[in-house]
Amino acid sequence: MIKEIEIKVPTDWTGISLKKYLELQADLETYKDDDAAVTAIMLYHLCGLDLKYLNAIPVETYSEIRDTLALFTNGMDIPLKRLINIDGIEYGFEPNLSKMAYGAYVDISKYQTMAIDKNWANIMSILYRPVKHKKGEMYSIDTYTGIDNSAKFTNVGMDIHFGALFFC
């Protein structure tokens, strides 16, 4: 019996959520010394390919997918997106990091590193807050309250996360 499968290969970080990225990173760390396993893990996490079909992919197709994934995973020139939309709510990046509220600064500084890890959604929820007022390119965001809003950021695309990380 022949089964046809469709493999959707991402070409940028937009469709890869923080949750999916963290799962990918955990598996990559486990198999970092095995190149074949690393590629298989990337196909599984980024393309949704069930690993039982991996050996049936033609070599040429496998190579094309691997090369496409390598192009965007190695290129990290991603700009900050100051305004984003999550569940119909517009969020703005902290407009002036040097004038950030003291509470926000203290809460961010409690994390050992500014890295995309298990704490990153918490940092993002401090840096991005709902937009109060907007006029052209200018905007103001809600005052920092310390309320944990991090769960919303686990489903946001990695293009947003990388842009914020590289900006900070």
pLDDT, tens digit (0-9, with 9 covering 90-100), for 93-120: 999 988 999 999 999 999 988 899 999 9
Answer for the pair 14, 161: CB distance below 8 angstroms, yes or no.
Answer: no
Query: Which residues are CB-neighbours of 8 under 8 A, at least 6 positions away?
Result: 47, 48
Q: DSSP labels for the chain?
A: ----------SSSTT-BHHHHHHHHHHHHHTTT-HHHHHHHHHHHHH---GGGGGGS-HHHHHHHHHHHHHHHH-------SEEEETTEEEEE-S-GGG--HHHHHHHHTSS--SSSTTHHHHHHHHEEEEEEEETTEEEEPPP-----GGGGGGSBHHHHHHHHHH-
As a residue count, the chain comes to: 168
Sequence spans of domains, the chain: 18-74, 83-167
**pLDDT tens digits along 134-158:** 998 899 999 999 999 999 999 999 9
Confidence (pTM): 0.89
Region 65-71: what's the mean pLDDT? 90
pLDDT at position 55, please? 85
Among residues 40, 160, 22, 168, the alpha carbon closest in space to that of 108 is found at 168
